Each structure stands twice: as C-alpha cells, then as structure tokens.
Structure 1
C-alpha cells in the first residue's frame, strides 16, 4: 500500500494520422500532407483554401503564439464547420 501514495505518471495521447505521428506531420510540406488525405480533402486543397479558412488558421497561429508556455491558448471563435483539420491546428481550441 506504500505505492498508493505515489501518483501515476500521466501518459499523453500520441497523435497520428494514417500511421504517421504528429512530429512527422508537422515537418511535412503541404504537398506531402495532401497525399495522405482522402479524395474529398485532396480535391479541396487542390482548388485552394479560400479567405475564411486561411483567416482561421492565422487566428489559431496568433492564439498559440500569444499563449504563455505550458498554458492553453485562448479559444478562437468561428462558424467554419467544414474546415479540414491540418496538423498545425492540434493543440488549439476552436469554439
């Protein structure tokens, strides 16, 4: 029962997409990343991201940049329900 006082070390979830871990996904170029996507997402990226999705990505980058280290970033509010999740969005809060 002496071990009951020692808290277990928490293991964090390892993010991966189609067998590729998050670190490798973040290092990939957009062209390499698009090859992993299903057909609908590939088609959407091929046609180009419009102004609103790009604005959302900019806001998410800004919120992450302004967050103190070790803290969660501020939630970013949006109406974009059909936005394709890209690896740089991981860790952001969208409301």
Structure 2
C-alpha cells in the first residue's frame, strides 16, 4: 500500500495549514527557525496579507515580491508568486515540496 498523502516531518498538509507560524517554525531547521523568530515576519506581513487575500478570493492581481529571505509557509501553498531575482520577476507556483525553503531558493 502506497500512501500518496503529502507529509512534512510527519504532519499532513491539513495539519500544517491549521498550525500557528511559531508551531510550524519548530519543524524547520535552525537557520529558518532563527529567521522566523527575528523581524522577517514583520517585514513579510504585507506579503502574507496579499497571499491571504488571494486565498480568500479578494485579490486577483499576481503577487510580486522582493523578499527572498521569507521561508515558504503552509498558507502559501497553491499560490503563484513573482519573486524578483535582481533583473525580473520569476513566477513560481508554490507546491507542497517547497515547504521550508526560502523564496530565494526557488
């Protein structure tokens, strides 16, 4: 029997989406945990607000960001984000396998 359900550190995607960001940070490695405990979340709050608006259906414009240091969080899964690489915005569809990676690594 093959279990096709996605798991991240033993947690299903539904469990991850219900978690608080601080609880999700405990599942990450130390570098990403440290960046989430610092001011990254304060600087990324406008980006997270835009992602929440897209998920709620209140926003239809594509999301563009220069914030490459923000880790991929469970609420970002399924959205398309334009990440600036210094020259142009690269459109990236956030998938489950990208959880915990920095946006700059995508």
Give the unaligned 5+ runs of structure 1.
1-12, 68-72
Alignment equivalent of 1:47, drawn from 29, 35, 38: 38
Q: Which has the larger radius of gyration?
A: 1
Q: Aligned equivalents of 1:36 and 1:46: distance in 2?
A: 13
What CA distance in whole angstroms lies between the structure 1 residues aligned with 2:49 and 2:21?
16
TM-score (norm 1): 0.68
User: Are 2:7 and 1:20 aligned?
Assistant: no
Residues 53-92 of structure 1 show CA distances to partners (whole Å, capped at 9, x for unaligned) of: 111110111122126xxxxx65211112221111000111
TM-score normalised to the size of structure 2?
A: 0.62
Relative to structure 1, the CA distance from residue 20 to residue 74 in structure 2 (aligned partners, 3 Å threshold; closer, same or farther) is farther
The number of equivalent residue pairs is: 77
**Distance (whole Å) between structure 2 residues aligned to residue 74 and residue 18 of structure 1:** 33
Q: In the aligned structure 2, how far is the partner of 1:86 from the partner of 1:15?
A: 15
CA contact (8 A) 1:34 1:45 kept: yes
Q: Which has the larger strand fraction? A: 2
User: How many angstroms does 1:15 deviate by?
Assistant: 3.6
Q: Which SS does the other structure have where 2:64 is aligned?
A: coil
Unaligned runs of 5+ in 2: 83-106
